[in-house]
Amino acid sequence: MTRTRAKRDVERRGHAHRLSTRRRLIVAFSGILVVFLAALALQLAALRRMEATFEEMKEHEDQMRLVLKLEDAVRDEYAHEEQVLRGDAAALRDYEAARGRALELGRRLDRALDEPETIALLREIRAARAELDARFDAARAAPARGGDPAAELDPSHRLVSRIEHDVDRIFARLQEVGSSYRAQLASLEAAALRWTAALLLGMPLLVAGIVAHLSRSVTRPLARLSAGAAAVASGDLDGRIDVDTPDEFGSLAAEFNRMTAALKHHQERLVEAEKLAGVGRLAAAVAHEINNPLQVIIGYLSFNRGVRDRRLAEQLAAAEAEALRCKGIVDGLLELARPPLVPARVDLRALCEDAAAGVRAAVQARAARLSVDGVGLARGDGPKLRQVVFNLMKNAVEAAGPAGDVDVRIGLRGEEHVEVAVRDSGPGIPAEAKNRLFEPFFSTKSSGTGLGLAVSRAIALAHGGDIDVRNGEPAGAVFTLRLPRAGSGGELT
Amino acid sequence: MNRPRVLVVEDRPGVLKLIATVLEVGCEVTSAADGATAISLLGAAPFDVVLTDIRLTGASGFDVLRAVQSHAHRPSVVLMTAYANLPDAVAAMRLGAFDYVAKPLAADEIALVVARAVEHRRKTADRPLAVVPDSGLRGGEGHHDLSLGFRRAVDQARERASVEYLVELMRHFHGNVTLAAVRAGMARESLHRLLKQYGIHSHAYRDPTASPEPEGGDHAERARLDA
């Protein structure tokens, strides 16, 4: 249950990135795509404008050609008129053809021209031509009535010159418009060129920038992660990876740090367990080698308890007491080696009261005040836990001194644990002793085996609990025994 | 004088000498330095109690225990060990040992455990082979219960049995420590210390109706107990 919850937590953390690398990639590539499409659309529009301008230019050139052809046709018409008037009957047909051409060109130009100025000029040309035709028809009729054909041609010549002049003006005008088209085209071309150049330069820069940013946001945390992993691989479990970006790398680093912390915790536990196992093997060997000599020593000393000489009796009693302490050490070592457990539901209040009574009986009458408060049910081995609580209380009472106080508080810790906190009003634990307090044979007291806390902790660990120590406020030490809480159901055997 | 006969088996001469010294006050002590010697001695003479170390050269304390079970005159067997552990304790009880004690023991404790073994031997001497009550010790899961501070539990049980035994002694001898010590096969001072240790007051068992010279009554009691 705890495991699935932890897994859910991990998944939730994983989904919580505001700027995941996936999202950043999507944003970056859509950005590039949008810029590219916009550039393409602009280029296409410019091309279309250029094409339209080019078309209009072609139309103008057509108009210019038509204007020149019209001039030619009018000149031809006039030349053939002259031949006809001079009596060349055959030229009449050419004249008709030239006239037809001039009329046709005039109609086409009428459709093509779109400027009021040129349209006005064309109208003038058309009027002059009509006058020219009228004069020619009149002149053809004149020889019959007598007259000089050459004299008739002179005004016609002026008309032709006028038409030529008008055509030149139209042509000049068209040329003018044409050159403005060319200028427009050239500017469009230049703009397109500029855009293309900007794109050619800008796109690679943009893409390079995005790639650089992405790769930096990937490679930098990756480098740190790999450095962190290398540090852990080389045995450094204290280092933490400093990546707190709100993406996968940030949560990966957080998970990695959590993993390293857990690894460190388990390694410490393992080292402790190894130490205890070593102590256990040692204890079995020591028990054989020490208990037999101790048997002889304690046996003879106790056998002579009744000796009459009082001084000798005292000396023997002192020796026996020390020998019994040796026995206590060996017993402690054996206990440390294998704390056997029978899980049952343990009423911690009753257990603490019982242990407190034991402590009061064991210590001198002038000892610290000892009070027990709170309730709790633990899952564990009653006699073993009583031994642990007894040890903690006895230590506390000894630390507090005759005028001191020892408060034992039982309560819940979280959902799954209960704790017994033993607080004394003594001098507290020196920082340098704190780490070694639970080591076998480490003792701050002049008497004692130095195994009490080590055995107590071994028992707590075997329960799936622990003992930790901190200094209290304002003074004294607080030893907290943490134990699994007894469930309501029948998980107990 | 019907002194208890005790066979002490121990391969460490110092320990052997100590135990013999302690027990010789009230018992006929025979010493054996190894298991094989002990087993051969069992056939030679009847003993009330065999006090044997478990770790011996040659045969082990368990071999001695097994050898005892095959003799018609079955002494009570007390196994001693310098390294007390649950499997040995369970095996000892299953094989019918009277007790399983961990060294080091004080002199009085040695005397007391032997005295209780002697008493047990006297009470069961005429009965057929007792069925070993191993129901609590056999069957896989059951005996894990003992693993829990089993030494403390065993010590408490032993203490209770010792108190009961001492009270019974006082009752039978109407608080006469001298006679009780003879009966128990231990030194008078040793019994005194034990009574004091367990908070038993011999005066409380003095028969107020009895004459100031309780010899006759004691003899009668002794006769009853011996029967």
What is the rounded CA–CA span in Å between residue A421 and residue A126? 122
The helix (H) or strand (E) run that includes residue A419 is: strand A417-424
* The predicted structure's pLDDT at residue A192: 86
Query: Is A317 an 8 Å CB contact of chain B?
Result: no
Interface touch A340/B148, C-beta < 8 Å: yes
Enumerate residues 6+ apart whose C-beta is below 8 A from A265. none
What is the rounded CA–CA span in Å between residue A367 and residue A364? 6
Q: Which residues of A touch B82 (CB under 8 A)?
A: 287-288, 290-292, 295
* The predicted structure's pLDDT at residue A414: 85
Does the pLDDT of residue B47 top 90, yes or no? Answer: yes
Q: Which residues of B touch A383 (CB under 8 A)?
A: 148-149, 152-153
User: Which residue does chain B place closest to A280, by CA atoms?
Assistant: B83
* The predicted structure's pLDDT at residue A8: 55
Residue from A282, A290, A295, A324 whose CB has the most chain B CBs within 10 Å, to mutate? A295
Residue from A286, A288, A291 whose CB has the most chain B CBs within 10 Å, to mutate? A291
Interface touch A303/B22, C-beta < 8 Å: yes
Identify the segments of chain A with pLDDT beneath 70: 1-19, 142-153, 276, 280, 337-341, 364-365, 444-449, 488-493
Number of residues that make up chain B? 227
Q: Residue A147's closest CA among A89, A82, A80, A85?
A: A85
Cβ neighbourhood burial of B94 (10 Å; 0-12, 13-18, 19+): middle
**Highest mean pLDDT out of A432-436, B2-6, B15-19:** B15-19
* Six token digits for residue A399: 């630390």
Residue with the two structure tokens 């010792």:
B162
* The predicted structure's pLDDT at residue A489: 45
User: Which residue does chain B place closest to A282, by CA atoms?
Assistant: B83
* The predicted structure's pLDDT at residue A450: 75
* The predicted structure's pLDDT at residue B136: 38
Interface touch B82/A300, C-beta < 8 Å: no
Distance of CA B115 to the CA centre of its chain: 5
Does the pLDDT of residue B64 top 90, yes or no? Answer: yes
Q: Nearest CA to CA, how far is A416 from chain B (Å)?
A: 24
pLDDT tens per residue, range A26-52: 888 898 899 889 888 988 998 899 899
pLDDT tens per residue, range B85-98: 777 888 898 899 99
Residue A118's Cβ-side half-sphere holds a number of Cα atoms within 13 Å equal to: 23
Interface touch A342/B148, C-beta < 8 Å: yes
Interface touch B15/A334, C-beta < 8 Å: no
Does the pLDDT of residue B140 top 50, yes or no? Answer: no
Chain A, residues 247-286, CB within 8 A of chain B, namely 284
Distance of CA A205 to the CA centre of its chain: 24
Q: For A46-108, give the DSSP string.
A: HHHHHHHHHHHHHHHHHHHHHHHHHHHHHHHHHHHHHHHHTT-TTHHHHHHHHHHHHHHHHHH
ipTM above 0.85, yes or no: no
User: Which residue does chain A place closest to B187, by CA atoms?
Assistant: A303
pLDDT tens per residue, range B173-203: 999 999 999 888 888 888 999 999 999 998 8
* The predicted structure's pLDDT at residue A334: 76
What is the rounded CA–CA span in Å between residue A110 and residue A125? 11
What is the rounded CA–CA span in Å between residue A335 and residue B84? 11
Q: For B86-148, give the DSSP string.
A: HHHHHHHHHTT-SEEEESP--HHHHHHHHHHHHHHHHHHTTSPPPPP--TTT-STTTTHHHHT
Query: Is A341 an 8 Å CB contact of chain B?
Result: yes
3-state SS, residue A159:
helix
Interface touch A340/B86, C-beta < 8 Å: yes
Residue A275 phi, psi (nearest 5): -60, -45
β-strand partners of A405: A369
Interface touch A299/B84, C-beta < 8 Å: no
**Residues A287, A289, A292, A298: what is their CA dihedral angle, to the nearest 10 degrees?**
-80
* The predicted structure's pLDDT at residue A307: 87
What is the rounded CA–CA span in Å between residue B53 and residue B105? 13
User: Which residue does chain B place closest to A382, by CA atoms?
Assistant: B148
A350-364 as b/e: b if 16+ CB within 10 A:
ebbebbbebbeeebe
SS (H, E, C) A208-276: HHHHHHHHHHHHHHHHHHHHHHHHHHCCCCCCCCCCCCCCHHHHHHHHHHHHHHHHHHHHHHHHHHHHH
Q: In what order do the strands lie in the sheet with A477-484?
A: A369-373, A405-413, A417-424, A477-484, A466-471
**Across the interface, which of A327, A383, A384 has its CB nearest the CB of B104?**
A327
Q: Which residues of B touch A387 (CB under 8 A)?
A: 149
Interface touch A291/B19, C-beta < 8 Å: no
Q: Residue A340's closest CA among B101, B138, B99, B152?
A: B152
Residue from B83, B105, B109, B152 whose CB has the most chain A CBs within 10 Å, to mutate? B83
* Six token digits for residue A177: 């418009």
Number of cross-chain residue pairs from A and B with Cβ atoms under 8 Å apart: 89
3-state SS, residue A358:
helix
* The predicted structure's pLDDT at residue A5: 56
Enumerate residues 6+ apart whose C-beta is below 8 A from A369. A404, A405, A406
* The predicted structure's pLDDT at residue B118: 92
